[in-house]
């Protein structure tokens, strides 16, 4: 009799526990996270993966804890306002983005929704935040500013591989917020290193062919590509044109070198997007963007494409190869 009573009580407790667990699962919050970039899904794949891996590391499982609303402009910045408005109508808990043109479009539309920058350039100068320590408003995240010593390092590395280079074309898009700051820093770095600078503007993909033709006419010894969503999404075309005209090229981001560019020195965008997951986690747990300090990119990497150097008839110094974080054969 006693055993039966105990068994009944145990079964009842188990059922009650199961019922409570079921209710908890049924009422558990599933967060909605917006994700919008200017690139195509294929061009952005490694950065999307970095961010979502970061979310998984923090315990978020897609479909169980979080739903990602992904939007890609396929290289057309003109689509950004509509895509941003579409995301805002879904009322996400937070929106993740990267690149100044996208951040600007999202910020204009998502005035109250928290926005996390996977990467940004001079966010104070662009008007996205009030300061790094106290962003204010609804925007926070990661920045990779054109610090003179770091940006100048690009050109120093280039000069090690192409020591006779006296004139370098600067491929520059003047449209994104903060772009003028980059140009000024680059020009100062060139003056410091005694290199003549030819500034070549591009505002859309269709400008690239003419831009490289202008470099050739002005007898540039190489091309320096500044960080920009336009050239980033068109990086395969940029690299192809530099190779077509046999112009050694230096970049801020390794993705260009992965696509066949010569050399890069700069911040790791994939690391920044992975770190963006930490900001999202904090916001989903109740933190306010205005209270989360914006972080400067901390990881820099030197990547050399040895195959490209050989194709251009260049010899990369052994001292540079030893310093490289990665050498692509």
DSSP state of 294: P
- For residues 37 and 105, what is the distance between their CA atoms, to the nearest angstrom? 10
Q: What is the pLDDT of residues 313-327, one digit of tens each?
A: 999 999 999 999 999
What would the mean pLDDT of 277-290 be, rounded to a whole number?
Answer: 98
CB atoms under 10 Å from CB of 53, counted, come to 14
Q: What is the pLDDT of residues 139-149, one digit of tens each?
A: 999 998 766 66
Q: What is the pLDDT of residues 297-307, one digit of tens each?
A: 878 899 999 99
The reported pLDDT for the residue numbered 10 is 46
The reported pLDDT for the residue numbered 15 is 45
Query: What mean pLDDT value characterizes the chain?
Result: 89
User: Angle between the 41-57 and 269-284 helix axes, to the nearest 10 degrees?
Assistant: 50
Alpha helices in the chain (DSSP H): 2-27, 41-57, 80-89, 100-109, 148-161, 179-192, 208-217, 229-233, 235-244, 254-258, 269-284, 306-311, 318-323
Q: What is the pLDDT of residues 60-94, one digit of tens each?
A: 999 999 999 999 999 888 999 999 999 999 999 99
Contacts of 152 (CB under 8 A, 6+ apart): 188, 189, 192, 193
The reported pLDDT for the residue numbered 22 is 37
The reported pLDDT for the residue numbered 232 is 87
- For residues 329 and 224, what is the distance between their CA atoms, to the nearest angstrom? 22
Q: What is the pLDDT of residues 36-62, one digit of tens each?
A: 999 999 989 999 999 999 999 999 999
Kindly report the pTM of this predicted structure: 0.82
Distances (CA, A) of 250 to 169, 268, 304: 10, 15, 10
The reported pLDDT for the residue numbered 70 is 98
Does residue 201 surpass a pLDDT of 80?
A: yes
Does residue 267 surpass a pLDDT of 70?
A: yes
The reported pLDDT for the residue numbered 44 is 92
The reported pLDDT for the residue numbered 228 is 83
Q: What structural domains does the chain harbor?
A: 30-145+269-299 (3.40.50.2300), 148-266+301-328 (3.40.50.2300)
């Amino acid at each position: 009799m006693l055993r039966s009573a105990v068994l009944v009580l145990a079964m009842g407790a188990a059922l009650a526990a199961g019922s409570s667990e079921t209710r908890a699962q049924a009422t558990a919050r599933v967060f909605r996270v917006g994700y919008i970039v200017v690139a195509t899904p294929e061009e952005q794949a490694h950065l999307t993966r970095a961010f979502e891996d970061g979310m998984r590391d923090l315990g978020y499982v897609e479909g169980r804890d979080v739903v990602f609303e992904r939007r890609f402009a396929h290289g057309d910045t003109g689509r950004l306002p509509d895509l941003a408005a579409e995301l805002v109508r879904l009322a996400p808990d937070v929106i993740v983005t990267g690149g100044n043109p996208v951040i600007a479009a999202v910020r204009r539309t998502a005035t109250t929704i928290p926005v996390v920058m996977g990467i940004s350039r001079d966010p104070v100068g662009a008007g996205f935040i009030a300061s790094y320590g106290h962003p204010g408003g609804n925007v926070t995240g990661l920045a990779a500013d054109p610090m003179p010593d770091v940006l100048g390092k690009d050109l120093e590395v280039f000069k090690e591989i192409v020591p006779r280079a006296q004139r370098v074309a600067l491929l520059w898009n003047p449209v994104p917020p903060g772009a003028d700051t980059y140009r000024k820093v680059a020009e100062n770095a060139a003056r410091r290193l005694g290199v003549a600078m030819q500034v070549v503007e591009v505002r859309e993909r269709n400008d690239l062919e003419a831009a490289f033709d202008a470099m050739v006419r002005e007898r540039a010894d190489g091309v320096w590509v500044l960080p920009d969503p336009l050239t980033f999404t068109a990086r395969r075309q940029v690299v192809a044109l530099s190779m077509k005209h046999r112009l050694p090229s230096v970049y801020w981001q390794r993705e260009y070198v992965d696509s066949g560019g010569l050399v890069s020195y700069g911040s790791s965008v994939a690391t920044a997007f992975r770190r963006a997951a930490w900001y999202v986690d904090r916001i989903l747990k109740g933190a306010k963007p205005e209270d989360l300090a914006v972080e400067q990119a901390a990881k820099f990497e030197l990547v050399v494409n040895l195959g490209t150097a050989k194709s251009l008839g260049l010899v990369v110094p052994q001292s540079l190869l030893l310093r490289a974080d990665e050498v692509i054969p």
